[in-house]
Structure 1
């Protein structure tokens, strides 16, 4: 068990005392005491919130041990001196660590160091020493991955503050839960966007759901956490399933072209808009409310800390106007229209009929965006507009270019587990106006026309980058970003693949904003309820600085790059950069079944493989992707006998590494290949070969509904990546795909002559990977990827000219 805390601000003793007084740990009952033991007893009394009498308090004290043989209550009565060992023996129990299994009562300081919990080293000899130790303890994480003060908050510590709260309260640079979540005000308004995407002659109105502190009614101005979620008003699962595309189609030869980027570059075109609605009046109170939103638990945490939270599904969703056009500029405009209203720069109405204006009078005009996947994507999109009022964007598992989500290297390439999905399918799934039949009747015919156009423009026939995809590439506008950026992504996320965050990080290098990057070992997930990392605290420090203006050194305290280690549980490392230009490179030549250092002569001339399977095997793999993956990567016989993919891929391996090695960034391949038809594709997987118990890529639930932002409030599961129970022989590190006719880039199509050799360069998805000593790197070369590419099962034969193939491995 390892604790990793980055959001603890070091403050001077005067600030510590001031903050302890502000949260009522120092008061008159402490002021008149000098003995540290007596002070400690009063502080402990304030934490045992369930005790309403002295008898119960003493009873509860004796549930803890001060030494291996003395209970805490008895120790406090004995008047023995307080030592650091005794303080931290009790502290570990207060932090919910278990005696004997988590730490030994005789060695509490050793345990604090091993778990990586902060500790004071100077002896606790005075009242001042004790208060300093207590301050640090309140900032320290419990076994359940929340600060001790947050644990007390969850127990009800701040409930008594509710009636007196008029402004946020900060402790250690972070906002505290002094706002009553049961007094939240829920409003619905309709923001008028500068769009008419449904072509009805009226500007689109967007439904916005607001949760704000009751104190805003008395003049408090709240900063806003805004989540733009197209899923917020519902999803059309059945319609989406029906719209899925058939991927069992043959790869086709493409017509060569000599396009350059200027030919396909998207230039925004202005279109005439209907006039703004005539405002018929203004009111302060909303006409509409709602019972329950589709929440994000990180937002829930901040609802009790003085923040307002806003959700909007955007154009084409239930109760809003417009249509969905996945990734289009109109989606971005729809997203920032809400920010503009929150910042006082756009109009909203109390309903969709009366034209009565309502302002965001309760907002302090400082906005952060939050959310994962499509939600994080729209946060990125909004940031690239430089919209006024957006101070920071937290983009988790976000798309930076839609081409890199649904395509790869001139190929149709599905996100993981979503074979057959595309832009039109996603638009159908989130077009929740469909769920209001009366409203859908008015728009169905036009939306069907839009879907027809999308199906044509997305171009599943060629997989080329085009004007359509350039329109949906947010990287084109990164230079406009003014908001500070926090990017979170899974290194095992094969839904929104790592190239999306990798390209965004690189594009931001020269943009004059603060940027932070967190790379974890998971798939397509949130990380705000993990035990080993203080992500919620980090975001509290960040938001308190960005939206409240608190001088808490957030930009200096939070690491620029934070990466979870893939070999050990609960281990995180800080770095200055990812994909650093300063990295060195290991160059390998291809040899028969080997990857050899560049200095080693190559003897083998060629190797080949087929892309065709017998129909029975082909159909089996389509239904059993896990078996296909196993057979693809396994070099020996499986349990059923002969490996059915033996002739359908090539595997090249290094010798065993003699020391731990860190791969950092984009692995580059130089390949010379021929195919027996005038078309073809290649797929690649970089693999860690070596027996090991590896981390799960899906988090394990450690404690169900164990975490909450405050007392009697919504709860979340405590999660963590844990070691697999069984040893596995390999793990895929990263992958990549390319159409052989897109040898130069994704939009230029080159002629491909059957059986002629061609040189091409392929960059695999960026990664960061800790390869253990004794393991081998393997490169698997194949064609059809059953989980990603089209599956034509064609009679294709590929040949590699081995002595002209290389792999460049970036090494930190």
Structure 2
């Protein structure tokens, strides 16, 4: 009996001891998980050999049949990843350009070994980030290179093909190696960051707008957020037949495979009216900003004449409305990657950005101002937001002059001006010699600014007009008259940069894949004037973009021209100019009607987005300005279809 009691007591003590041990274990703080082997000092550091990285090529299955051949499309995906048992996140660039046109300032293409496995990737992302514990994944867009299907220019097929790759990386899809073996992404954490310039950055915007899980961040560089805002300018086509031509320019399928699809794209785009229709709505990512789960780092040129700045500003504003974590880099060049403008600062930012959003390293990258902006050549500033906090629309009046330039000022507007459409009018003719009387443009000048004026936001011009034709294009250009050093953003195919003879290296190289790239510099000239912003609209779309409504000849109407957003300083002593004309065949492909238009200036205004003091006053007579056309600056040509 005694032994039985002793055994029961011992058992009770053991049970209490076990329970206390369990409670203690639950109450004690969990031991912090050790950082990955490639994280030291609060950042990822080169740890793995780039030369011995795993290189593989797979075909990802989709649920699409964009070429209508009865077989689901497959997407070709090339991968470079560290040779490690540790799972790593993914930096991904999807592009239509890997075999047709090249990537980056040096137009690099993918290169493969004799077995069809990736040997060399364009750009430095793999060289720089793979040794630091990232995988780099390059996706051939549907219908291009080694992918099947047909591209639909930013539409459901293209976005869906890239979304399928994100799904596969997160275990929600299937893929095969080129020899038919099943490919499983057991090497990745599933966290994906998309990056790319132009069309590639556009794909990042579009995929983020689906809300796909696993896409943690995007870095769109000169990206499109609305294909209508890329190919149309408030009802005015930039070039006719653009969608079908663009799909054909990157087509990697056998001849004839995608002809019907491409013809359908051009037809659906509707050059005849220029309307915003279902075709364009399917390629407008801005309304879906509320679905975005990813953080967003945007980079864009304020003077980008390929993908106009409206594409970043509308996207930026929509993301803000939905509280999406975001930051913004703005520069004064054209269609250019920050890698070729301020390389060291940009790569530092990318490194910190991806470390935070893909690796979970708390490095403070989201602290401080949201915006870094270049307001003049190599003059960078931090700014709390965009537009600059406190920026407000300043309404300025327009008044007619005595046969030459009219005036811009804070007083009342008066008089009328008459314009006759001239399809041969060049921008140099329109904005140069502003005091000369011309029948094909009207110019308005301010007094000399009494202090530096900060423009930050989107200017608009509202005109009360009548036309003797049922339709006409209306063009407005905001000009800074005054000598200054300015970026020549039209130079070298609208990039605004030129190559130097030196190279800098960003990551590890192999015999087949160099990490060293030509250094570049901004093209800068001293000029007597610079065009700050441009805007175009179609008179038959004055009430909205979804319906073509011709004007009644001789009847008065009001229309607002939205210019492209800008962030720039106007120097004291300079004059602000506004130039109004009709068709602009250097920048658009209008149906030039030969219209004669009268503008009622008493009911027309310029709205200028100003942060701080305006430094503009009333003016009775336009100042007489002598300016020299910038002969050394690059000039425009008739707008051709161009790749984004």
Q: TM-score range by the shorter chain?
A: 0.7 to 0.9
Q: Tell me by how many angstroms 1:318 deviates.
A: 2.6
CA distance in 1, matches of 2:343, 2:36: 34
| Kept after mapping to 1: 8 A contact 2:80/2:126 | no
Q: Tell me by how many angstroms 1:222 deviates.
A: 1.8
How do 1:120-519 residues align onto structure 2 when only pairs under 5 Å count? 167-171=37-41, 173-215=42-84, 219-235=85-101, 289-351=116-178, 354=180, 356-414=181-239, 420=240, 422-433=242-253, 440=254, 444=256, 447-519=258-330
User: What TM-score comes out, normalization by structure 1 length?
Assistant: 0.65
| Kept after mapping to 1: 8 A contact 2:236/2:590 | no
CA distance in 2, matches of 1:168, 1:229: 29
Q: Tell me by how many angstroms 1:490 deviates.
A: 0.2
Matching of residue 534 in structure 1 with residue 345 in structure 2: yes
Q: 1:659 aligns with which of 424, 432, 451?
A: 451
Q: Tell me by how many angstroms 1:377 deviates.
A: 0.3
Q: Counterpart in 1 of 2:395? A: 587
| Kept after mapping to 1: 8 A contact 2:498/2:520 | yes
| Kept after mapping to 2: 8 A contact 1:669/1:762 | yes
Q: Tell me by how many angstroms 1:534 deviates.
A: 0.9
CA distance in 2, matches of 1:169, 1:756: 69
Gaps of 5+ in 1: 1-164, 237-285, 415-419, 434-439, 622-627, 638-642
| Kept after mapping to 2: 8 A contact 1:707/1:715 | yes
Deviation sequence 1:573-622 (CA, Å, 0-9, x none) = 11121136842332211112334333x2334x211121136xxxx4xx7x
Q: Tell me by how many angstroms 1:795 deviates.
A: 2.8
Matching of residue 802 in structure 1 with residue 614 in structure 2: no
Matching of residue 545 in structure 1 with residue 356 in structure 2: yes
CA distance in 2, matches of 1:338, 1:579: 35
Greater helix share, 1 or 2? 1
Q: Counterpart in 1 of 2:518? A: 717
CA distance in 1, matches of 2:594, 2:59: 57
Q: Counterpart in 2 of 1:606? A: 416
Q: 1:729 aligns with which of 525, 528, 549?
A: 528
CA distance in 2, matches of 1:562, 1:582: 17
Q: Tell me by how many angstroms 1:738 deviates.
A: 0.8
| Kept after mapping to 1: 8 A contact 2:398/2:601 | yes
CA distance in 2, matches of 1:657, 1:425: 46
Q: Counterpart in 2 of 1:670? A: 462
Q: Tell me by how many angstroms 1:702 deviates.
A: 4.9
CA distance in 1, matches of 2:386, 2:344: 19
Paired residue secondary structure (1:562): strand
| Kept after mapping to 2: 8 A contact 1:392/1:484 | yes
Task: Kindly report structure 1 stretches of 4+ aligned residues shifted beyond 6 Å.
Answer: none
Paired residue secondary structure (1:300): helix
Q: Tell me by how many angstroms 1:464 deviates.
A: 0.9
CA distance in 2, matches of 1:196, 1:513: 33
CA RMSD of superposed structures (Å): 2.4
| Kept after mapping to 2: 8 A contact 1:654/1:778 | yes
Q: Tell me by how many angstroms 1:791 deviates.
A: 5.2
Q: Name the CA shift for 1:178/1:581 in 2 (closer, same or farther; >3 Å).
A: closer
| Kept after mapping to 2: 8 A contact 1:175/1:544 | yes
User: What TM-score comes out, normalization by structure 2 length?
Assistant: 0.82
Q: Tell me by how many angstroms 1:700 deviates.
A: 4.1
Q: Tell me by how many angstroms 1:174 deviates.
A: 2.9
CA distance in 2, matches of 1:455, 1:555: 42
Q: Counterpart in 2 of 1:72? A: none
Q: Name the CA shift for 1:522/1:740 in 2 (closer, same or farther; >3 Å).
A: same
Matched residues, number: 554
CA distance in 2, matches of 1:575, 1:421: 40
CA distance in 2, matches of 1:294, 1:752: 53
Q: Counterpart in 2 of 1:123? A: none
Matching of residue 707 in structure 1 with residue 517 in structure 2: no
Greater strand share, 1 or 2? 2
CA distance in 2, matches of 1:298, 1:351: 24
CA distance in 2, matches of 1:756, 1:471: 35
Q: Name the CA shift for 1:336/1:288 in 2 (closer, same or farther; >3 Å).
A: farther
Deviation sequence 1:669-727 (CA, Å, 0-9, x none) = 11011111111110111111111122343124455212332477420123343642xx3
CA distance in 1, matches of 2:517, 2:280: 38
